Amino acid sequence: MGLLTRDIALDLGTAATRIYNAHAGVVVNEPSAVAVNVTTGRILAIGAEAGRMAGRTPAHVKVIRPLRAGNIDDFEVTGRMLQHLLLVAGHRIPARTQAVVCAPSDTSGVGRRAVLDTCRVVGVTRVKLIPKPVAAAVGAGLPVQEATGTLIVDVGAGTTEIAVLCLGGVVAARSVPVSGDALDEAILQHLRRQYQLDVGRHTAERLKRDLAAAETAGRRLSVRGRCSYSGLPRTLLLEGAEIRAALRDPLDRIVWALTAVLDHCPPELSQDILMRGLTLTGDGSRLHGLDRLLQQATGTPVHIAQDPGTAAVRGAGRCAEDPSLRNLLESAPTR
């Protein structure tokens, strides 16, 4: 149990909510999920417990993911979730706590106000925002303040954010709604179309994560589902190459967005990037072979940040603590 220092950092992600404080580092890293009894409206579980219930609930229970594409979709549920996660982490919010919150770089005024309102629910009224790619780059230890081009690609669950940064600012950026969730969906669709096999999201996600295992020793991946015609359970054995082929379309969309950002990048910065390469953050960057694909597509070296999923919240935390990084923060909207 510990007290939060005055400053905390929050990354309210589509798949995971992360909370950082100066004393203890990342204190919360849990699924952004809430299980609700739809008949009574009662919340039954939050975070990891709710995540485990997804796809296995009776008809009257629904597992809600209150964030969509990194934006707050259900303000009330997000507030309750955040309140609960802070509580189970054993922390309370001292007066005058300041929160630095990662925000998608294309968040609208409404999205920004939703962040502010959610923070108010948990008792935080002093809020600064930081564009997610900037936070991720700081968390990955990149020299964002220097007069050199830095290319960061954050592959999350809801969005892939691509940005070229220089002198503490965003020079070119693009956010595409294609990342981990879209890859799971592509696997789900492929199994339905090709084999009339219905599987849950968790199963599709597991197949995606197991691609590395499939590559070593040409192991085949087993998948259990339900035949969409007969309704009977069925098991299939799949080659890793087949899953990879199913992912080609969404991965191509990420590559196009990346080449578009590079096309709009001033020539001097392109030179820096060609030499120093790009850095991947977000847990979606753990997809087996993604680094190789992007390296081939851009001709630049690709590095995966250490602990890529928490890079953004750690970066936001550093900006909260380090006065020399304060220029990277933006004020939250006043109403």
Ligand X SMILES: Nc1ncnc2c1ncn2[C@@H]1O[C@H](COP(=O)(O)OP(=O)(O)OP(=O)(O)O)[C@@H](O)[C@H]1O
Binding-site ranges for ligand X (CB under 6 A): 13-16, 70, 156-159, 179-181, 205, 208-209, 282-284, 286-287, 309
H helices of 3-91, where?
A: 48-53, 75-88
Rounded to whole angstroms, the Cα distance separating 131 from 124 reads: 19
Nearer to Mg ion, 13 or 131 (CB): 13
Q: Are 215 and 242 in contact (CB under 8 A)?
A: no
CB of 297 to ligand X, least distance (A): 18
202 contact, one of ligand X, Mg ion, none, CB 5-8 Å limit per kind:
none
Copy the structure tokens of residue 255.
């590559």
Binding range to Mg ion, per CB under 5 A, among 6-14, 17-25, 114-122, 220-228: 6-14
- Contact pattern for Mg ion over residues 129 through 168, marking x by CB under 5 A: ---------------------------x------------
Q: How far is the CB of 334 from ligand X (least distance, A)?
A: 25
- DSSP alpha helix (H) spans, the chain: 48-53, 75-88, 109-121, 132-139, 180-195, 201-209, 211-215, 240-246, 248-263, 267-276, 290-298, 311-321
Which C-beta is closer to Mg ion: that of 13 or that of 315? 13
164 bridge partner residues? 151, 172
Indicate the Cα dihedral angle 44, 66, 56, 199, nearest 10°: 180
Checking DSSP bridges between strand 98-103 and strand 7-12, what pairing results, if any?
Answer: parallel
Q: For residue 300, what is the DSSP state?
A: S
When the beta carbons of 198 and 307 are compared against Mg ion, the nearer one is 307
**Which of the choices Mg ion, ligand X, none does residue 287 contact, using the CB cut-off of 5 to 8 A by kind?**
ligand X
Is 315 a residue that touches Mg ion (CB under 5 A)?
no
* 13 interacts with Mg ion by CB under 5 A: yes
Residue among 79 and 156 whose Cβ is closer to Mg ion: 156
Q: What gap in Å lies between CA 30 and CA 87, rounded to an integer?
A: 13
Phi, psi (deg, nearest 5) at residue 119: -65, -40
Q: Which residues contact 275 (CB under 8 A, 6 or more apart)?
A: none
C-alpha 213 chain-centroid distance? 23
Least distance in angstroms from the C-beta of 180 to ligand X = 2
Q: Which is nearer to ligand X, 114 or 269 (CB)?
A: 114
Q: Pattern of binders to Mg ion over 75-114, x per CB under 5 A?
A: ----------------------------------------
Nearer to ligand X, 272 or 283 (CB): 283
Q: Which is nearer to ligand X, 20 or 148 (CB)?
A: 20
Neighbours of 220 (CB within 10 A): 13
Contact of residue 240 among ligand X, Mg ion, none (CB under 5-8 Å per partner type)? none
Nearest approach, Cβ of residue 146 and ligand X (Å): 25
Residue 47 found at the interface with Mg ion (CB under 5 A): no
* Shortest spacing between CB 57 and ligand X, in angstroms: 20
Q: Is 97 strand, coil or helix? A: coil
State the minimum distance, in angstroms, from the CB of residue 163 to ligand X: 13
| Residues within the interface to Mg ion (CB under 5 A) | 13, 156
